[in-house]
Structure 1
């Protein structure tokens, strides 16, 4: 027979493993976001360079790339969070006949979300260097 302490320890271990999984998945997603951002800049190198020659400031390019990364990211986060809560509620209602409810997540989950957001922002910021290098006047002139 398992004691209450065994259940608490295994629950804490599963929670720690889930946060580790969130961290690994977030790191891979942030790395992929950075690569796709740089690839998007390289793919549109000629067009962006010509816009730069016409006088468009680099800050405008940064804003465009930020929007291109932020809109899908926020949409996926909102959709996955909402669906996760719905699925969790359906599982609890189905398995426990409505005797249990979902409460607010523990503070570590919120810390994991903040770290995930920071990694996403850093992935977008890494593309800013590629924007400046690939849209310089000299690199566009020889294109």
Structure 2
């Protein structure tokens, strides 16, 4: 998990930056019409964070379900709740992911200036 986290983080940053780059002109036009930069930041954050958290919750639930089914069917054991370190690692991974998303938001100011609307 520790080896895959930096790779996933880089992929997430590239995805968010690519999405911003693809919508440079529409975002610039919105800024020219009076939409505040913080509103655009909220839009980008919501469209990135909501799917990230939803997928994390589904993946966590499916992992517990599969582990429970396997232990019950193959070994006859019941699934015990994981230690607190497991939850800390999951929370830490999500915090790093949210930090990566937040680190890409300053690009929005540079990409949505008036020159982007003219030269798009």
Q: Same fold (TM over 0.5)?
A: yes
Distance 2:75 2:11 in 1: 39
Which one has a bigger Cα radius of gyration? 1
Distance 1:52 1:118 in 2: 29
The reply to whether residue 137 of structure 1 matches residue 119 of structure 2 is: no
The reply to whether residue 126 of structure 1 matches residue 103 of structure 2 is: yes
Aligned residues: 120
Q: CA RMSD in A?
A: 1.4
Distance 1:34 1:114 in 2: 19
The reply to whether residue 110 of structure 1 matches residue 87 of structure 2 is: yes
Unmatched runs of 5 consecutive residues or more in structure 1: 1-21
The reply to whether residue 66 of structure 1 matches residue 41 of structure 2 is: no
Partner of 2:28: 49
Partner of 1:82: 61
If asked which structure has higher relative contact order (CA below 8 Å, sep 6+), I would say 2
Q: For residue 23 of structure 1, give the secondary structure of its aligned residue in structure 2.
A: coil
Runs of 4+ with >4 A deviation: none
Distance 1:95 1:141 in 2: 64
Unmatched runs of 5 consecutive residues or more in structure 2: none
Distance 1:137 1:33 in 2: 27
Shift of 1:61: 0.9
Distance 1:36 1:50 in 2: 22
The reply to whether residue 34 of structure 1 matches residue 13 of structure 2 is: yes
